[in-house]
Chains A and B, each alone.
Chain A
Amino acid sequence: MGDKSNRTMNVLIVGVGGQGVIMVSKVLAQLCQADGHDVKQSEVHGMAKRGGGVFSHVRFGPKVWSPTIPEGEVDILVALEWAEGLRWLKHLKPDTGTFIADCQKIVPPFACRNRKRGAEPAYAPQTPEEIIEQVHAGYVMDATGMAANLGNARASNTVLLGALSTVLDFPEEAWVEIIAATVPAKSVEANRAAFAEGRAWAMGGEKRIDVTASGLHKAHSEMHHPQVDTILEITEEWCKGCDICVKMCPERCLRLNDLLKAELALPDLCTGCQLCAWLCPDQAIRVTNIPVTEAAE
């Protein structure tokens, strides 16, 4: 791929705010421009700083019209974060698209909202193997790990640039030159090394998965799901309505009733953590967690 025909080439770079999506797209855009292409680079970064998703479209060719890439026409999808990569997969060209992803997972607090016993984080469960099977060409690498081994985890985006460089038709020196001009002077060497590392890794074939990448996604299969019934009893006579349990319950499921006695208003939310029982100055609350069956190990 990386042909210089009359066609517009479409590269979509995605990730989470603060990961360096914009740096990757800027390097690519400058490279294309220096090579004489018409280039448009479009990003929406209104809320990016607040940990939301960031995406940047880079299009180049003899003449580029739309700043954004139509769905299903992405030639190369570069993902700096696993779930973000999956979110944009359907924009990839089904028969010729290349997927390059860091397997690193950034689990947002939202994904940990379901606090029921044994609940899993609401995070993309798909494994790299499943995904790679479905794309034309794909690389899932532990770019963050590679960059960390080189001494700077923040250079993971440059590792991905190294992988990207093997799919596009620009000379290696041109990449290195532009990266050196883009990053702060003191980290030029680190980024040069990160680029070389990513490039060397991706040279190893059209479909590659880093072993650590597949390992990362297995960890959660080893959890346990004990079945427990929680019984919460409040001795009304002892409760003096101090409000401490109501304020301190992490699930906010207690409240004071009209008689200013504590009551379990939202029993479905109670996780049985027993905080209220420990904190009650008058020991008016008792929490019992009874196993229903043996915990499946």
Chain B
Amino acid sequence: MTEALRQTAADPILAGAARPLTGNEAIARGVWEAGAKVAAAYPGTPSTEILENIATYPASDIHAQWSTNEKTAMDVAIGASFAGVRAFTAMKHVGLNVAADALMSFSYIGVNGGLVIAICDDPGIHSSQNEQDSRIYARFAQVPVLEPSDGQEALELTRLAFDISERFDTPVFVRSTTRLSHTRSTVVMGSREEPAERHFNENPKKNVMIPAHARMQHGVVLERERRLKDWLNDTPLNRVEPGDTRVGIITSGIPYTYVKEVMPDATVLKLGVTWPLPDRLLHDFAASVDRVIVVEELEPLIEDALKAMGIPCEGKAFFPRAGEFSPEVVHDGLARAGLMTPRVNAAPFEFAPMIRPPVLCAGCPHAACYMALRALDARVAGDIGCYTLAVVEPLKSIDTCVSMGSSIANAVGMAKAGTETKPIVATIGDSTFLHSGIPPLIDAVYNGADITVFLLDNHITAMTGGQDHPGTGKTLRGDPAPRIDFMELVKSLGVKWVQKVDSYDTASMQRTLREAMAHKGVSVVISDRPCVLDPVRIKGPAMEVEQESCIACQACMNLGCPAITWSEGWHEGRHKVRIDPEACIGCSLCAQLCTTHSIRPIQ
């Protein structure tokens, strides 16, 4: 858990107090207050802090764990529900793709102890590979989805979700977005109430999904949907806020706050539940206003449903289907609909802002790995993690990146296609390897693919802020745990050629990779150095550049280390370089590359 987080966590017990909480902190609080006993997740922005915050509540109240991936986390939660306790899992939108198989069947089974799944979407793709709309999964799996619009609702709807889950015998989604998850607002907290104890319910017809049972349960699910709709027509979760009846706006979640911001006088139907939709309420609402506008981020889920019900409405004709909403986007859409005057763009400052893309940290152990791959001119199937940043200059050595765990099997496919002349390398981080890299590595061995797998072991899940995993030897709560030995693991899968390299030794890195690529069949190279940010911030003595001898060749800059920039000195019209002593962690990689031995530790 990061230091910053430790400071922000809500006081675990305090009831009745008001605190500024992020959406994620509020969801965590709701889980604890609802008396949940088991919570499991795999990290993923923007959902990660939910489990980290649950882990700040007493272990005697709730078991909280990192699982190896989202499907595992979902199955752990399902197991706890089978055993009769309230259970919880959280994941980012794409995590639900991984967990979907379990979800689809469990929807048929229903719950014993209430089961709530927090799904955090990322409209605007702040930190993801796509911006899929998870509400569509709710419709697909036929489970209700609750959409809070601020911290207070995040807490209350999460609590309520457990009641709905048990009352209607269904898993329930609480859907957040990056904006809600990372916005802090005042939240009044309640106290924890544990539901009456239940035990395993021996009922194979409900719990064992063989075809005969599943056929029966499908009917039960459809009936459940009908009962939910009935109930949703009258629950205060969906509320009408009366106003000017010339237009009625139907909205939910964070976009509701934008609507209130830009058009405070409109009649609004705020949906707390966006699937299933309350047909009677919607018909009545539409009849009470002259014109219905749907304001929803991403997909036209509500709009399409309204149209299917025969309710005339407009939505995506005025609002974008891609990207994150904002007060500006909502204003522009309402202006397009002829309901507001367009914004005047009185921006007096006309200059193109400098781009500041994210970069690998100064001293990041991944940098030398990709430098070597670029020098060796490999075809690199990439994966997801900090190391994906090596796709841009100056490291620029990743050719593909699909989804977590894709790299190894992508490489197998490239090798089997037989068109590639370059050596084929899959690069994958330690956390990603444990998440979904092991089955494809077995696939590669089994099918005799001629590839090199470069396992970038930085001893942490870095991208999402430094979470533990089975390779770190620690659990979510910081307790010691058995530690995966990657060498032994890889060998046990049948890989014959495997070697470890030091990420801070550029020469041996190149040599080892060259040997690995020359090996026929599957070879595995494991780079081994901890991330410099987590779990502890690494800061060794900084390096400096001797200005007299630097010939401004810029070889050191090819690392992309953010501590290295140009100095005020020149050589033959080229900038000499300098190192920011505050930022440099002293990894010595640049010194290894320097052609004139101008880079040395500060004396």
A residues in contact (CB < 8 Å) with B: 16-17, 22, 26, 29-30, 33, 38-47, 49-53, 64-68, 70-72, 83-84, 86-87, 89-90, 94, 107-113, 115, 117-119, 121-124, 126, 134, 153, 219-220, 223-226, 228, 247-248, 250-252, 271-275, 278-279, 289, 295
Contacts and interface: CB of A to CB of B under 8 A. Distances in A.
Contact of A94 (B127, B261, B346, B553): B346
Contact of B258 (A44, A64, A66, A153): A66
Given A70-B327, A134-B349, A39 B178 contact: no
Contact of B357 (A39, A52, A250): A52
A57 to B, nearest CB: 8
Given A42-B179, A110-B357, A252-B558, 12 more contacts: A29-B20, A41-B20, A67-B254, A71-B347, A72-B343, A86-B354, A94-B348, A109-B564, A111-B354, A124-B351, A223-B568, A271-B574
A41 B45 contact: no
10 contacts: A26-B184, A33-B186, A52-B357, A68-B327, A90-B349, A108-B359, A109-B561, A121-B566, A124-B354, A275-B555
Interface in B296-313: none
B333 to A, nearest CB: 14
Contact of A224 (B254, B261, B357, B573): B573
A38 B565 contact: no
Interface in B512-561: 533, 551-555, 557-558, 560-561
A84 B551 CA distance: 31
A214 to B, nearest CB: 17
B533 A115 contact: no
B574 to A, nearest CB: 6
A122 B533 CA distance: 28
Given A52-B358, A248-B555, A109 B562 contact: yes
Nearest to B556: A250
B179 to A, nearest CB: 6
Nearest to B360: A50
Given A65-B260, A273-B551, A46 B184 contact: no
Contact of B261 (A49, A66, A126): A66
Given A66-B258, A66-B327, A250 B179 contact: no
B185 to A, nearest CB: 5
A272 to B, nearest CB: 7
A109 B359 contact: yes
For the complex of A and B, list the 5 residue pairs with the smallest distance between their C-beta atoms, beginning with the closest: A46-B127, A117-B573, A50-B358, A87-B353, A52-B358
B46 interface: yes
B183 interface: yes
Interface residues of B, number: 72
Contacts of A118: 573
Contact of A39 (B185, B254, B386, B561): B185
The SS class assigned to the B binding surface is: loop
A248 B375 CA distance: 9
A198 B158 CA distance: 43
A284 to B, nearest CB: 18
A216 B523 CA distance: 52
B390 to A, nearest CB: 12
Interface in B389-410: 389, 393-394
B346 A46 contact: no
Nearest to B2: A49
Best-buried of A68, A89, A279 by chain B (most CB within 10 Å): A68
A16 B386 contact: no
B570 interface: yes
Contacts of B555: 248, 250, 275
A72 B347 contact: yes
A55 to B, nearest CB: 11
Contacts of A121: 565-566, 575
B417 interface: no
A248 B595 contact: yes
Contacts of A72: 343, 345-347
A245 B551 CA distance: 17
B4 A134 contact: no
Contact of B565 (A43, A68, A109, A224): A109
Contact of A273 (B258, B343, B346, B553): B553
B265 to A, nearest CB: 13
Nearest to A42: B183
Nearest to B555: A250
A250 B554 contact: yes
B554 A126 contact: no
Contact of A49 (B186, B348, B393, B533): B533
Contacts of A49: 361, 465, 533
A83 B358 contact: no
B246 interface: no
Contacts of A153: 582
A289 B573 CA distance: 11
Nearest to A107: B565
Interface of B: 4, 8, 20, 45-46, 126-127, 150, 178-180, 182-186, 254, 257-258, 260-262, 264, 326-328, 331, 343, 345-349, 351, 353-361, 374-375, 386, 389, 393-394, 465, 533, 551-555, 557-558, 560-562, 564-566, 568, 570, 572-575, 582, 595
Contact of A89 (B126, B349, B554): B349
Contact of B552 (A70, A124, A228, A273): A273
A66 B257 contact: yes
A220 B569 CA distance: 10
A273 B184 contact: no
Nearest to B396: A252
Contacts of A109: 359, 394, 557, 560-562, 564-565
Contacts of B562: 51, 108-109
Contacts of B565: 107, 109, 111-112, 121
Contacts of A29: 20, 184
A70 B347 CA distance: 13
Contact of A228 (B20, B351, B572): B572
Contacts of A83: 353-354, 356
A66 B386 CA distance: 31
A90 B261 contact: no
B222 to A, nearest CB: 38
Contacts of A275: 551, 553, 555, 595
A41 B150 CA distance: 11
A180 B476 CA distance: 30
A246 B254 CA distance: 54
A87 B354 contact: yes
Nearest to A119: B575
B568 A219 contact: yes
A271 B554 contact: yes
Nearest to A30: B20
B394 A108 contact: no
Given A45-B182, A118-B573, A273-B553, A123 B354 contact: yes
A217 to B, nearest CB: 13
Contacts of A115: 554, 574-575
A70 B326 contact: yes
B20 A53 contact: no
B542 to A, nearest CB: 14
A37 B554 CA distance: 53
B201 to A, nearest CB: 41
A38 B356 contact: no
Nearest to A224: B570
A42 B551 CA distance: 46
A41 B184 contact: yes
B110 to A, nearest CB: 35
A94 B347 CA distance: 8
B553 A250 contact: yes
A108 B20 contact: no
A133 to B, nearest CB: 11
Nearest to A125: B351
Nearest to A117: B573
Nearest to A222: B568
B120 to A, nearest CB: 11
Contacts of A272: 572
